[in-house]
A and B are shown apart, each in its own frame.
Chain A
Amino acid sequence: MTAPDTHGRFLALLDEHKGIVYKVASVYCRRPEDRPDLEQEILIQLFRSFGTFDGRSRFSTWMYRVAMNVAISFYRSDRRTTAPLVPMEGSGIEIVAAAEPPAEIRQLRIFISQLDELNRALILLYLEGHSQEEMAEVTGLTVTNVATKISRIKDKLRLAFAKAAEQENDHGTR
């Protein structure tokens, strides 16, 4: 396949699954203004790794793996203060009509940001509606382990929501 063909195929698949880049970057950025940098890092790695995609797994699964691996490394090295590899005006993923998430989703995002980088990957896949088998395929865990961890995260979130509601009630009655 020639380079323009590869580029065209890459862009078409990227267009179909651009939401993955956006969502992974949103979940792993400490500050919202760092999101375009992380998106750019993910896009560069996706493009560089595209040649290794052999079609054995779904493109979206492969894309989640690449995006999460880049995001975890980005999050850990906290590279936001260094210059990006290819300085450019934007990542190429744009929001045309920004929608404000409902309050409980905003609250959920706050709780997710308190999880470690590995559990964040799991909870994002869970919320995106992936099966436990797919989550295991992306993370490298066993299916049983995925189930155990999701159940623990659920417990943690239930407690966190209960605590937040309690604090809100206390605040309201005062």
Chain B
Amino acid sequence: MELDDLKARWMDFDRKLDASLRLNARLVRESLIERTERTLRRSSFVVLAAVVINVLLVWWLGSFMADHAGEMRFFIPAAILNVGAIAVLVLGAQQFVRMRTLDHGRSVLEVQREIQALQVQQIHLTRWIVFLSPLIWTPMVIVFFAALGVDTYRVMPAWLLANLLFGVAAIPVLFYGAQALSARLQGTSFLQGLVRDTAGRGLFEAGEFMKELAAFENENGKG
């Protein structure tokens, strides 16, 4: 059977199919358009709220650093937190803007390549946040109590040291735990996605698809 013969039959069936399709304009107008606009407004508000909270946090940490410029034991933990907060704010906002402004009307190769690049960036950000989160806890406690006038270095030095050591020990546990779990989890929930990204499986899959795209674009490539 030749594809050219089938093409004529496909187009013939297509005409019948086109004639049997109806667009429910009321449903599209009321449900799709209005609800999509509402959902977008709501999600924009959530993102804006997150940005405002993060900006306030960066501002508060900045003024804390200024107040404790001469006390390195407070200044350094605040600076670590501030660098992290600024990085999350900038990268998160950049991701959001790139995703929202992604023009799906460009060619398949262009858009798919950009989506993969965004996914890779998102996975890297997620991995950094997950792996560094056990270490963030200690400077957070130091800064929070210092703002209340409590010097945790003096009041609970053993507790601080234990938390710091626990944070360091938690990183390889998180890494290997994610590797072991990701092999078992096949679903698409948020948690399953997080585990897969933490383990690096998402990065591998994105890389494989990038290779597929390159091979597809290459005239001598397979397919």
Contact = CB atoms under 8 A, between A and B. Distances in A.
Given A69-B112, A92-B23, A82 B188 contact: yes
Nearest to A105: B13
Task: Name the prevailing secondary structure of the A interface residues.
Answer: helix
Interface string A1-32: 00000010011001100110011000000000
Contacts of A157: 1, 3, 6
A79 B71 CA distance: 51
B105 interface: yes
Interface residues of A, number: 76
Contact of A99 (B13, B217, B219): B13
Contacts of B187: 81
B29 to A, nearest CB: 6
A140 B43 CA distance: 32
Of the candidates A47, A52, A92, A162, the one having the most CB atoms from chain B within 10 angstroms of its own CB is A92
A118 interface: yes
B106 interface: yes
A78 to B, nearest CB: 6
A90 B107 CA distance: 28
A89 B28 contact: no
Interface in A22-58: 22-23, 40, 43-45, 47-49, 52-53
Of the candidates B23, B31, B223, the one having the most CB atoms from chain A within 10 angstroms of its own CB is B23
Interface string A66-85: 10111011001111011001
A148 interface: yes
Contact of A78 (B14, B31, B188): B188
Interface in A132-147: 137-142, 144-145
A85 B7 contact: no
Nearest to A46: B104
Nearest to B223: A119
Contact of B219 (A89, A119, A144): A144
B93 interface: no
B11 A128 contact: yes
A-B complex: 4 closest residue pairs judged by Cβ atoms:
A140-B107, A140-B109, A92-B28, A161-B1
Interface of B: 1-4, 6-7, 9-11, 13-14, 16-18, 20-25, 27-29, 31-33, 35-36, 39-40, 103-112, 115, 187-189, 209, 212-213, 216-217, 219, 223
Given A14-B23, A43-B28, A158-B2, 17 more contacts: A11-B23, A22-B17, A52-B103, A73-B115, A86-B39, A101-B13, A104-B6, A104-B9, A108-B6, A118-B108, A119-B216, A127-B6, A128-B11, A139-B109, A140-B217, A141-B109, A157-B1
26 contacts: A18-B23, A19-B18, A44-B32, A47-B32, A49-B103, A62-B105, A65-B104, A65-B108, A66-B104, A66-B105, A81-B187, A88-B31, A93-B23, A94-B22, A94-B23, A95-B22, A99-B20, A104-B6, A118-B223, A137-B107, A140-B106, A140-B217, A142-B219, A149-B216, A149-B223, A157-B1
